[in-house]
Amino acid sequence: MSDPVTTATSDNPAVIPVQAGPGVNPQGPTQERAASLWSDARRELIRNPIFLASVSFILIVSSMAILPSMWTSKNPRDCDIKFAKLSPSAEHWFGTNVLGCDYYSHAIYGARPSLSIALIATTGVTLIGVVLGMLAGFFGGWVDTLISRIIDMIYSLPFLLGALVILGVLRQSDLLHSDQWWPPVLVVAIVLIILGWVGVARIMRGSVLSAKNLDYVLAAKSLGASNSRLMFRHILPNAIAPVVVVATISLGGYIGAEATLTFLGAGLQPPAVSWGTMIAGNIDYFNEYKYLVLIPCGLLVPTVLSFILAGDALRDALDPKLR
């Protein structure tokens, strides 16, 4: 038998014994700490097999980019023309290309430029888009008008056409033909940043417009919180979720964009080794040596798909309405 709980009313100040029911705390009701959006999303993601499979494949490809020597001991630029176009064997797992280079080492080392471009471009696009979108949504007025018109002007230029034109001009310089792998990677990533930040800015602007008039923001403003504190302490954590989803999906999109630009002759150029240059350099031999194109495509497509599936799973986890 549980202990009685006493209550009193204004009409009858006498103490009236009330029997506490099962599960009632005599000291008062216990309040459970509400789970945050991010912790709730984490629990959803770790139970999602599609998300776990996608992240696992992304980690494998990332290890190729970070530590290629862990996957192969061969140098992709160590070529001998007399061993050109050999079929896959124990010595050369993926065969050799038309220059006699080991194709397996090309596939492994090709992950670094492709992922580096995607990572740099996504980081730059997210930072610029978040900052400008937050400024436009929070301050409104002429700030919003100026940023919105810049966004409209960049949107008026088709993404692929703009990238082809800019990289076509830069192709005359030595930046895209460097012996080192990072200068052409940086050039392509900067072009993608210039043309890609507008989408993130629009999404962030809409999120800020929705969040800045919520009660907790108005309460903080009435207590004298500065604009910077309102933006970065109260609005940003609650408006960033859609941007995180878009950034995850964009990682895969920029890997595909690099391969597309390279295939069209405006992206990375030999002697750079990437999945895009592997496809572009061997497409003429597809009918006779299909593996020269299918192998880089077999790495490119699952990588892009993994980022897209991970982004979709993240979107579902961060949107309570979808659950």
- CB burial of 172-206 (b: ≥16 within 10 Å; e: otherwise) equals eeeebebeebebbbebbbbbbbbbbbbbbbbbbbe
Domain assignment of residue 98, yes or no: no
Domain assignment of residue 308, yes or no: yes
Domain assignment of residue 27, yes or no: no
End-to-end C-alpha distance for the chain, whole angstroms: 41
CATH code of the domain containing 229: 1.10.3720.10
- At 231-277, the pLDDT tens digits run 888 888 888 889 999 999 999 999 999 999 999 988 888 888 899 99
Number of domains in the chain: 1
Question: pLDDT band at residue 321, thresholds of 50, 70 and 90?
Answer: low
The answer to whether residue 11 scores a pLDDT higher than 50 is no
Q: Which of 17-31, 68-82, 138-152 has the highest mean pLDDT?
A: 138-152
Which residues is 101 bridged to in the sheet? 79
Count how many residues are written for the chain. Answer: 323
Domain assignment of residue 83, yes or no: no
Strands (E), the chain: 4-7, 16-19
CA distance 193 to 46: 31
Amino acid identity, position 77? R
Q: What was the pLDDT predicted at 320?
A: 63
Domain assignment of residue 6, yes or no: no
Domain assignment of residue 71, yes or no: no
Report if pTM > 0.75: yes
The answer to whether residue 153 scores a pLDDT higher than 90 is yes
Tell me the residue range of the domain where 209 lies.
37-66+110-322
The answer to whether residue 14 scores a pLDDT higher than 60 is no
- At 16-48, the pLDDT tens digits run 444 444 444 444 433 333 347 678 888 888 999
**CB of 20 within 8 A of CB of 5?**
yes
**CB of 241 within 8 A of CB of 37?**
yes
